[in-house]
Homo-oligomer: A and B are copies of this chain.
């Protein structure tokens, strides 16, 4: 890089800034800034494309119902080890979330005092836009992207209010109850021309009204629900089973996790949102319906952020003979998620520079339920998604290969 070139700085405005994924992402950028040479977990670490903001040049701000500083929040989540907490404490202590827009009707198990007095939907959207403008100005960044890393909300009732930009505008004016906080944040981003990525299973920019608005205004949006553990495995294994014509008779998936996200999923309504994004992946890849596809998620405290997933796959092979594949993934939820959130932010910022608006399909490989343009069905096969992003970036081969 020519020494003279000014480096691009990008502000990342996070919904749920005090959460496990968000604090891990912010702490990780701080550790990268301080000069580690290990880039594990960052899928695009090896990619060098003009305009792609460096990790160290991402600046964090955002909203959370919990008003504690990111240093305090990170210490509570127990994702980072003691050295990492110590090293990042000074920088994270300086970041404190802005008051949040929330609704207990949309996410029951999460509470927090750091909420904005809500005077209706319009006022909420405007306040979010204000926050975005202030954030941008205060940090001297080239641009801002918004990433939703908040607790999972329940799926809203199907409502005409969510179908067209016009209906949505009316519903905002009327404080329609089918509009939840995630949608208000997304609407604010789109109105403000701020690229928006949704790492949660909550309905937001994927509501048809908002997707259309993003398209009309040329704002890049992407989502939803980060693909980190079990669903990642599913979208890696299922294409291979299909390629070998091994028929999937059943697929049983169960998960235990003990972090705050797991606690939020104890609310059956939030769980439903999560199961929704996990469900259709398999049938779409295989080309037929797997009736015995079961997904369980259980809150189990001994594990904290160390999620564990079991998959059992029953397949039929040649001449109808039956076989089983079992996968046991002992993962770290936020460790897998945080770097993906960083990549989504960087690619969305690049998309905006390239003048691309509406759903960004090239980001499909980071999501369980990828948003698509023009009513296309989403692509779920992992390696095909990988190629989509490589093609869009204009890089020849898997980035991580450059080790």
The interface of chain A, by Cβ under 8 A from chain B, is 24, 27-28, 31, 36, 38-43, 45-46, 79-82, 84, 232-233, 236-237, 239-240, 242-247, 249-250, 252, 254, 256, 286-288, 291-292, 294, 296, 298, 300-303, 308, 310, 312, 314, 316-332, 335-336, 338-339, 365, 381-384, 386, 398-403
How far apart are the CA atoms of A318 and B341 in the complex, in Å?
12
Q: What is the CA–CA distance of A325 and B318 in the complex, to the nearest angstrom?
A: 26
Q: Tell whether, in the assembled complex, residue A232 and residue B242 are in contact, meaning their CB atoms are under 8 Å apart.
A: no
In the assembled complex, which residues on chain B have CB atoms less than 8 Å from the CB atom of A339?
245, 317-318
From known contacts A41-B318, A239-B398, infer whether A308 and B312 are also in contact, taking CB-CB under 8 Å: yes
Q: Please, how many angstroms separate the alpha-carbon atoms of A24 and B318 in the complex?
A: 9
Say yes or no: A338-B318 contact (C-beta < 8 A), given A240-B236, A245-B400: yes
Minimal beta-carbon separation of A292 from chain B (angstroms):
5
Partner of A298, one of B82, B242, B252, B401: B252
Q: Does the CB pair A302–B242 fall under 8 Å? A: no
Check if B336 sits within 8 Å of A243, measured CB to CB.
no
CB–CB B40/A317 < 8 A: yes
Residue among A321, A329, A330 with max Cβ neighbours from chain B (10 Å): A321
Question: Complex formed: what's the CA distance from A243 to B383 in Å?
Answer: 9
In the bound complex, do residue B323 and residue A326 qualify as a contact, i.e. CB atoms below 8 Å apart?
no
Complex CA gap A297/B75 in Å reads 36
Are A31 and B244 touching (Cβ within 8 A)? Answer: no
Whether B335 contacts A318 by the Cβ 8 Å rule is yes
A336 and B318 in contact (CB under 8 A), knowing A243-B400, A292-B300, A302-B292? yes
Per the bound structure, the CA–CA distance linking A256 and B294 in Å amounts to: 10
Q: Are B250 and A302 in contact, CB atoms less than 8 angstroms apart?
A: yes
Q: Do B329 and A325 touch (CB < 8 A)?
A: yes
- Once A296-B298, A300-B292, A312-B308 are accepted as A-B contacts, the answer to whether A41 and B319 lie under 8 Å apart by CB is yes
> Which chain B positions have C-beta within 8 A of A312?
256, 308
A320-B38, A321-B335 as given contacts; A243 in contact with B327, CB under 8 Å: no
Query: Can you identify 29 A-B contacts, CB atoms within 8 angstroms?
Result: A24-B319, A31-B319, A38-B316, A38-B319, A40-B245, A40-B246, A41-B245, A45-B245, A81-B321, A82-B82, A232-B240, A240-B382, A243-B398, A243-B399, A245-B339, A245-B399, A250-B300, A252-B298, A254-B254, A256-B312, A287-B401, A287-B403, A302-B322, A310-B310, A318-B338, A319-B335, A325-B330, A326-B328, A381-B383
How far is the CB of A63 from the nearest CB of chain B, in Å? 23
A321, closest chain B residue (CB): B335
B336 and A40 within 8 A (CB): no
Find the residue from A250, A302, A320, A332 having the highest chain B CB count within 10 A: A302
CA distance A84 to B320 in the complex (A): 10
CA distance A36 to B269 in the complex (A): 43
Q: Which single member of B41, B232, B243, B323 contacts A317 (CB below 8 Å)? A: B41
